[in-house]
Amino acid sequence: MITIEITNLDELVKEHRGPLSAMFGKLVTDVEGEVERIIISELKEEFEKRGVRANICSISGISLRRFVNS
């Protein structure tokens, strides 16, 4: 299993939605959920290009302890 923690959520939302929309979107939408959708979509596209077949799942409610930062 691979677990990836995205640490720049706000930057990614700004990049994909624009700064004004991202700022107001925080009040209305789930930023983490939106970033998950962005990342999953990009992973699917890249996997399809490379012929990789995979199941991509979004799991909530997991608490991670950080041992190493990259």
pLDDT computed for residue 66 by the predictor: 62
Q: Which range marks the domain in which residue 19 is found?
A: 1-62
pTM (two decimals): 0.62
pLDDT(70) > 70: no
Sign of CA dihedral 13, 7, 53, 63: negative
Whether residue 12 has pLDDT greater than 70: yes
Give the count of domains, the chain. 1
Q: Is the pLDDT of residue 62 over 60?
A: yes
Residue range 1-26: mean pLDDT, rounded:
72
**32 and 9 in contact (C-beta within 8 Å)?**
yes
